[in-house]
Amino acid sequence: MAKMSAAQAAVLVMEKEGVTQAFGVPGAAINPLYSALRKQGTIGHILARHVEGASHMAEGYTRAVAGNIGVCIGTSGPAGTDMITGLYSAWADSIPILCITGQAPRARLYKEDFQAVDIESISKPVTKWSVTVREPGQVPQVFQQAFHLMRSGRPGPVLIDLPFDVQMAQIEFDIETYQPLTPYKPAASRAQIEKAIAMLNAAERPLIVAGGGIINANASDLLVRFAEATGVPVIPTLMGWGTIPDDHPLMAGMCGLQTSHRYGNATMLASDFVLGIGNRWANRHTGSVEVYTKGRTFVHVDIEPTQIGRVFTPDFGIVSDAKAALELFVEVAEDMKAKGKLPSRRDWASECLERKKTMLRKTNFDDVPMKPQRVYQCMNRNFERETCYVSTIGLSQIAAAQFLHVYNPRNWINCGQAGPLGWTIPAALGVRAADPSRRIVALSGDYDFQFMVEELAVGAQFKLPYIHIVVNNSYLGLIRQSQRGFEMDYCVQLGFENINATEESGVEREYGVDHLKVVEGLGCKAIRVYKQEEIKPAIERAEKLMAEFSVPVVIEVMLERVTNIAMGTEIDAINEFEALAESLADAPSSVAAAMLD
C-alpha cells in the first residue's frame, strides 16, 4: 500500500486500464487531477478550445481503433454542461468515453457556489453511469467500475465528477495489485443460432442487416464469412457501413429514408426475411414500421436485452454480443455448407447484384458552380480504398452516404443518432490522435464547419494533419430542403455581402464567410476549388502541405446554392429529384466485374 492523493490514484487506474491519451481544458476545480497527470507523465493530453470539442475528440478517438476509450476532462460548472452533447452522441451510438469533471468542495455543494452545478443529475439520461464521488477512498474503485461499465454489455459513456477536496485528499492505494474487471458480454447459445439459421433457410429472399454493434465487437470479418457461407446479401446500416466492402458482390446497399442507395431500398422491399445483427432499427433506416416490416420475417440479435422489441417485435430475438453470435453463426453455417445442407442463394444474390449495377443515382454533372454529386464522384476517384471518412449531419453527410464508397470497418466515422453540428472537426482530430498513419478525410457543409471551427487551432498546435472537404453552398441545406414542405425558405441562408471581400475573391460577396482566411488565421492551410477538374490537383497539393507543415488542410468546394438530395418519408417513396444514372460510370469500379462464387 502507498499513500497518495485520490487524484493520483485516478491517474494510475486510468493508466492500468490502458488510457494513453486524454482531451480537455484545465480549470481551477480539476487542477489536482491535471497535476497528477503531469507528474505521472504516461497519459498524453491535447488541449481543446471548447470542452464540447474535447468530448467529440474523445469520441473520434474511441471510434477510430478497436479497444480505445477516449477520455475528456474539464473543470466544474459549464465544462460539464458543455460535455453533454458529446455524452449524448456517445450514448446514442454505443460509444464508450470517460468524461471527468471537477467540482466544488463537498461543503459547498448545493449552496450555489461559483461554477457548482449538479452535473451528476444533468448527465444521467445520456450516460451509462454518472456519479459525484463523495468519499476520497472510493475514487480508485469508482474509476474501476467506470471502465467495467463502459466495456460491459452495450458500450457507452460514463461521467465521473470529482469535488476539489476529494481529489486533494490522501488515501491508501496499492496500484501494483490492481486488475481491470472482466467485462460482461452476453453470448448466444448454439440452439438459438441453429433456430435462427433454420428460419433463414426457410426464406426465399433473405437479407442480413449489419449494424454498428458488429463494428463495436470487432467482428466484421466474421460477418463477411457468414454472408459468404450462406450466400445471403448484406444491408449495412449507416453505423455498420464498412462491415462488408462496398464492392463485395454480397453488399446489397444501404436502406433508408436519406442515407441509402436506390438499390438498397429496392432490395429490402423485395426481401422476405431479415436477420438484424447489432442494429437498433433506427427510423432513418426503416421509415415507418408498417412499410419496413410488411411481408417479412425478422430475427434480431443485439447485446442489449431491452433493444429486442423496442421498435417492433421480431419473430425471434437473441440477446448476444455480435462477435459471440457471429462466431456461432459462422460455425454452424460453414458446417452445414460442408454437408450440403444450405440452400443455394445464387438467383437471389444475382438479382440483388443486378439492382446494384443498374439502380444508380447520377453523379457525372459538369455544372459550374458544381453540384455536390460530382464532388463525391471526384472523391471516390482520388482517395484510396483505405481512406477513413469522418462526417456528422446535413445534406453533405446524406449525400456522402449515397455516393461515397467505404471498404473497411471504422473507415466511416459518423455520429448516427445525435448528429450535432460542429462534430466533424474535433472528431477528425480525435481519429488522427488515435491513428497517426491513417488517411483521414473529413467532410462538412459550411455550417457544420463554422460551428466548431476554432478546434482547427488544436490540429495546428498539436500537429494533427488531415484533409477537410468543405462543400459550401452558403445554406443550411438540409433544413432548407425540409422547409419545402412548409413552402418557405426562412432564415436558412448563410450568405451575406462580406465587406472585406475583394474583386479578386468576389465569390465571398455572395457566400459570406471567407473560410480560407479563417482557416489560415487558425494556423492551418486552405485551398478553394470551383470546378471538378480542380479537385484532383487540390488533393495533391493538400497532401504536400500536410507533409510539409503537419497541420489540417481544408479544401473548400464552391457549390451551386440549391441542390435537392434524394430522400423521402418511406423507403418505397423516395424523391430522387435528379436524372438517374444509366451506366456503371458512377458505381464502384469493381462492381461491374464482380462475380458470384
The residues annotated as belonging to the active site are 25, 51, 421, 476, 479
DSSP helix/strand/coil, 76: coil
Q: What values do phi and psi take at 526, rounded to 5?
A: -145, 145
Dig out the grid coordinates for 484 from the structure: 419545402
Cα distances (Å, whole numbers) of residue 526 to 65, 271, 294, 519? 28, 47, 50, 6
Dig out the grid coordinates for 272 from the structure: 422476405
Pick from 172, 182, 134, 180: which is nearest to 9 by CA? 172
| CA 597/CA 594 separation, integer angstroms | 10
Dig out the grid coordinates for 255 from the structure: 436502406
Element (H, E) at 118: none
Amino acid, single-letter form, for residue 95:
I
How crowded is residue 333: how many other Cβ atoms within 10 Å of its Cβ? 25
Element (H, E) at 241: none
The dihedral over CA atoms of 133, 137, 138, 143, expressed in degrees to the nearest 10, equals: 90
DSSP helix/strand/coil, 79: helix
Alpha helices (H) in 65-161, listed in sequence order: 78-92, 119-123, 139-151
| CA 37/CA 524 separation, integer angstroms | 29
Task: Name beta bridge partners: 171.
Answer: 4
How crowded is residue 596: how many other Cβ atoms within 10 Å of its Cβ? 13
DSSP helix/strand/coil, 172: strand
Dig out the grid coordinates for 378 from the structure: 471526384
Pick from 98, 106, 101, 59: which is nearest to 80 by CA? 101
CB 260 within 8 A of CB 399: no
SS3 assignment for 557-592 = EEECCCCCCCEECCCCCEECCCCECCCHHHCCCCCC
Burial class (CB in 10 A: 0-12, 13-18, 19+), 155: buried
Cα distances (Å, whole numbers) of residue 190 to 276, 326, 459? 17, 11, 48
| CA 589/CA 337 separation, integer angstroms | 31
| CA 36/CA 41 separation, integer angstroms | 8
| CA 282/CA 18 separation, integer angstroms | 32
